[in-house]
Chain A
């Protein structure tokens, strides 16, 4: 029996297949969640099946906010439990996991590889991937382009916390001729400071570990480490943390 985890987030859908002993990631796949989570889920199933196993050989656990759209899943779990488990697999048994997602950001405290506490951002999208997506859009860039640009920028302060106000602030900064790389760098800084506030709500234990789509952004990791005053660890696989955790929790 193999174990698959499907994590349908608000922006990206992730799937991993893990070996029978759950020690190894056999295959991974990432695609945009798109408009229709149901279709995305079906595409991930076809991908799984294309790996040469039959459906009966695999136990499938779904997570993420689109987990209800995975009709073929054997069971479902919330993204908090799964992210915690997945992060512990990647980063160790005692962690403060920081997950910056497309729609929400969460801080999960892990002790002995178990979730013992968590906090999520409130309704507002400041401090989430959405904030950067909106800013990138406004500047006519894709997210990777936006991050590439931000790497060369100087830190300027975007004072509005609210995404809507920050967007108009950026428009006026552009109007004033502020270099685009500085604006991008400032926007990343804004997300980092919001995330750090969320982290400070929970007494930190163990090391900081970043999961989610931004684990490949050196700038964000650097800034977050600086703000928290302690190194933030991550690995490219950390964006699969939810899916990995789901697979690990399959029975």
Chain B
């Protein structure tokens, strides 16, 4: 059974709590830059003396309002992000001095054009492939151009020292988060994946906390020290596909309540992206660009390295089955899902299930049946 500690803070609680901290920081004159994607080089935001805040929509909130302007068929993440922005429902967006975005999928980049009418939005031109001619050169220039945008917007100057400090800080933070994720490599995992991922992904909201890294390291130690006596027969699941924060309760929590362990996320917030560090001794802009271009997201073509990552993670985390989450309207992941299916089922001979869903609760019952059947399938395998 999924058991959570009494003082467990849900993702939304963590998010809410940090509103106040953010507000106070803002009062003290801190600047805030909103981000929407794992490709955003947050180091330049830190170096500009501002706080990077992830603004991705993660619930149904704002979707109805967004649908008045955006097509209904666009992915819920884009609708929710935009909806929260236009309805002033998201204090983070409200407090943001500007937005740093990039050309990832079509829906998102066109949405940014509309968002730009409400706030200063800078859209970085992300290459479509790391193998593209001049990709790394172009992307390095884009990072510089984004830094210039921040300097002009916030009237600051990003010095090489500040940039270096930011790189060192984010590397340490990433290392701490990867270590935290890796607790789940222990079999059986001493901690619920729902709890672990909530803590890991909430780290984003503790931006004003100077001891953030120390706290994460402590949580890792605490998690490792925990014992669980019911974990032995629970199949271990890797979740891949679209960002899953918006379906955290409907899918991840339910999966664990029904008897499986969520041990690894092959999504852009999980360990496969966090593990990429920035070279602290190279030219900072180039080093930043190199690090971010390593990310394997379905917006890239080709994106074959993603499948090498999945295969590695399946092994490292001793996974018994893979669930792919495809949000309605996300073409890039929907198309790649066919490849994921073939690799997991045919190459690895492992149970694979694809769940097509959105942020609404209306398919909760159907998802539950599928999750239940998938767990039974993994146990029988």
Q: Give Cα distance in the complex from A104 to B366, angstroms.
A: 9
Are A123 and B369 in contact (CB-based, < 8 A)? no
User: CB of B209 within 8 A of chain A?
Assistant: no
Q: Give Cα distance in the complex from A78 to B370, angstroms.
A: 8
Q: Give Cα distance in the complex from A120 to B373, angstroms.
A: 11
Instruction: Give which listed residue, B345, B372, B380, contacts A114 with CB less than 8 A.
Output: B380
Give B360-381 as 1s and 0s: 1 = Cβ < 8 Å from A's Cβ atoms: 0011011001101100110011
Minimum Cβ distance to chain B for residue A208 (Å): 20
Are A116 and B351 in contact (CB-based, < 8 A)? yes
User: CB of A215 within 8 A of chain B?
Assistant: no
Give A104-132 as 1s and 0s: 1 = Cβ < 8 Å from B's Cβ atoms: 10000000001111101011000000000
Q: Give Cα distance in the complex from A120 to B355, angstroms.
A: 10
Instruction: Give which listed residue, B369, B380, B381, contacts A120 with CB less than 8 A.
Output: B369
Residue among B352, B362, B363, B373 with the highest chain A CB neighbour number at 10 A: B373
User: CB of B356 within 8 A of chain A?
Assistant: yes
User: CB of A79 within 8 A of chain B?
Assistant: yes
Are A79 and B369 in contact (CB-based, < 8 A)? yes
Count B-side interface residues using an 8 Å CB cutoff.
Answer: 17
Q: Give Cα distance in the complex from A58 to B105, angstroms.
A: 57
User: CB of A65 within 8 A of chain B?
Assistant: yes
User: Given A114-B380, A117-B345, is A123 in contact with B366 using a C-beta cutoff of 8 Å?
Assistant: yes
> Smallest CB-CB separation from A76: which chain B residue?
B372
Q: Give Cα distance in the complex from A80 to B366, angstroms.
A: 12
Are B345 and A120 in contact (CB-based, < 8 A)? no
User: CB of A190 within 8 A of chain B?
Assistant: no
Instruction: Give which listed residue, A80, A115, A117, contacts B369 with CB less than 8 A.
Output: A80
User: CB of A81 within 8 A of chain B?
Assistant: yes
Q: Give Cα distance in the complex from A118 to B352, angstroms.
A: 9
Q: Give Cα distance in the complex from A65 to B372, angstroms.
A: 12
Instruction: Give which listed residue, A114, A115, A122, A123, contacts B373 with CB less than 8 A.
Output: A115
Q: Give Cα distance in the complex from A78 to B374, angstroms.
A: 9
Q: Give Cα distance in the complex from A122 to B369, angstroms.
A: 12
Count A-side interface residues using an 8 Å CB cutoff.
Answer: 15
Minimum Cβ distance to chain A for residue B36 (Å): 28
Give A174-188 as 1s and 0s: 1 = Cβ < 8 Å from B's Cβ atoms: 000000000000000
User: CB of A87 within 8 A of chain B?
Assistant: no
User: Given A115-B377, A116-B351, A116-B377, is A78 in contact with B345 using a C-beta cutoff of 8 Å?
Assistant: no
Minimum Cβ distance to chain B for residue A130 (Å): 14
> Smallest CB-CB separation from A79: which chain B residue?
B369
Chain B residues, Cβ within 8 Å of A104: 366
Minimum Cβ distance to chain A for residue B363 (Å): 6
Minimum Cβ distance to chain A for residue B334 (Å): 13
User: Given A79-B369, A120-B370, is A115 in contact with B345 using a C-beta cutoff of 8 Å?
Assistant: no
Q: Give Cα distance in the complex from A118 to B380, angstroms.
A: 14
Are A78 and B366 in contact (CB-based, < 8 A)? no
Instruction: Give which listed residue, A65, A79, A115, A123, contacts B380 with CB less than 8 A.
Output: A115
Among A47-78, those with CB < 8 Å from B are 65, 77-78
> Smallest CB-CB separation from B371: which chain A residue?
A78
Minimum Cβ distance to chain A for residue B348 (Å): 13
Chain B residues, Cβ within 8 Å of A77: 372, 376
Q: Give Cα distance in the complex from A77 to B381, angstroms.
A: 16
Minimum Cβ distance to chain B for residue A234 (Å): 22
Q: Give Cα distance in the complex from A118 to B377, angstroms.
A: 10
Chain B residues, Cβ within 8 Å of A79: 369, 373
Among B300-358, those with CB < 8 Å from A are 345, 351-353, 356
Q: Give Cα distance in the complex from A77 to B379, angstroms.
A: 12
> Smallest CB-CB separation from A85: which chain B residue?
B380
Minimum Cβ distance to chain B for residue A77 (Å): 6
Residue among B365, B370, B381 with the highest chain A CB neighbour number at 10 A: B370
Minimum Cβ distance to chain B for residue A197 (Å): 15
Q: Give Cα distance in the complex from A78 to B373, angstroms.
A: 6
Minimum Cβ distance to chain A for residue B355 (Å): 10
> Smallest CB-CB separation from B258: which chain A residue?
A78
Q: Give Cα distance in the complex from A78 to B379, angstroms.
A: 13
Minimum Cβ distance to chain A for residue B251 (Å): 15
Are A78 and B376 in contact (CB-based, < 8 A)? yes
> Smallest CB-CB separation from A118: which chain B residue?
B373
Are A81 and B369 in contact (CB-based, < 8 A)? no
> Smallest CB-CB separation from B380: which chain A residue?
A114
Q: Give Cα distance in the complex from A114 to B352, angstroms.
A: 14
> Smallest CB-CB separation from A109: which chain B residue?
B345
User: Given A117-B345, A122-B356, is A78 in contact with B372 using a C-beta cutoff of 8 Å?
Assistant: yes
Are B373 and A80 in contact (CB-based, < 8 A)? yes
Among A75-105, those with CB < 8 Å from B are 77-81, 104
Chain A residues, Cβ within 8 Å of B369: 65, 78-80, 120
What 20 new A-B contacts, CB under 8 Å, besides A115-B380, A116-B381, A122-B363? A65-B365, A77-B372, A78-B372, A78-B376, A79-B373, A80-B369, A80-B373, A80-B377, A81-B376, A81-B377, A104-B366, A114-B380, A116-B377, A117-B345, A117-B352, A118-B377, A120-B369, A123-B362, A123-B363, A123-B366
Ranked 10 nearest A-B pairs via Cβ: A80-B373, A78-B372, A78-B373, A81-B376, A115-B377, A114-B380, A78-B369, A81-B373, A123-B363, A78-B376
A sample of 29 inter-chain contacts (CB < 8 A) reads A65-B365, A65-B369, A78-B369, A78-B372, A78-B373, A78-B376, A79-B369, A79-B373, A80-B370, A80-B372, A80-B373, A80-B377, A81-B376, A81-B377, A104-B366, A114-B380, A115-B373, A115-B376, A115-B377, A115-B380, A116-B345, A116-B377, A116-B381, A117-B345, A117-B351, A117-B352, A118-B373, A122-B363, A123-B362
B residues near A (Cβ < 8 Å) are 345, 351-353, 356, 362-363, 365-366, 369-370, 372-373, 376-377, 380-381
